[in-house]
Amino acid sequence: MYGINQRCIYISFHFFVLWCHAQGENHPSPNFNQYVRTQGAVTDQLSRRQIRVYQLYSRTSGKHVQIQGKRVTATAEDGNVYARLFVETDTFGSRVRIRGAESGRYLCMNRKGKLVGKSTVHFLHGNGKDTYLADITKIVLENNYTAFQNAKYEGWYVAFTRKGRPIKASRTRENQREVHFIKRLHTGPPPFPNTDQSKHFEFIQFPSTRRAKRNRKSRTSS
């Protein structure tokens, strides 16, 4: 009788272990990549918006990206005023907005993948008929180049031809040379007009006060 009870306990425990294992298989493991992608797109409304200033060197054209009015090309020389870009971000991830420092226009992409500079834009929540989206995802590639993908339409990249003309984003791929860029510092004039690096430091002499004269006389008399 004791042996039969022991066997029943063993069989019951075995079935319990199998049931727990089956329950674990029914719950799939969480998608960590999806979690990172979702949290990276969350807007940080508490911290200050980060703004970086640099140029984007196109691997294909050998020139820099410039936003000149509505035209967006990759034909600017190093240090060109229109090649100076403000790269803004207010999220925890790599989503940015590129704005021309001289023109004040954002680098935008419409639903057809056309690049254009716009002063009034819609961000990722915009749903207009001809919405120009300014949100771009910055991706650092394995070859150390940087690609800029449309934040709404995955697989659409900012790209330029050898002559610096924009390419329709729907025809681009990540492994194409046309979508590869290098971030470079702007070597143009300083941002503030009163900055003069060649001017030497000068001492300013103020007239002596009565107290200073009195202390000087006391020192000489002693």
Provide the pLDDT for residue 126: 45
Beta strands in 28-68 (DSSP E): 50-58, 64-68
Q: Which residue has the tokens 């971030």?
A: 183
Cα gap 139→145, rounded to integer Å? 9
Global model pTM greater than 0.95: no
The CATH number assigned to the domain with range 44-184 reads 2.80.10.50
Domain ranges of the chain: 44-184
Provide the pLDDT for residue 95: 86
State the DSSP code for 59: T
Kindly report the number of other CB atoms within 10 A of residue 83's CB atom. Answer: 28
- Paired tokens of 158: 């900012």
Residues in the chain with pLDDT < 50?
125-130, 193-195, 201
| Tens digits of residue pLDDT in 16-69 | 666 666 555 555 566 656 655 565 556 666 666 788 999 999 999 999 999 999
Q: What is the DSSP string of 84-144?
A: -EEEEE-BSSSEEEEEETTT--EEEE-TT--EEEESS-B-TT---TT--B--EEEEE-TTS
Describe the chain by its helix, strand, coil percentages, rounded to 5: 25, 25, 50
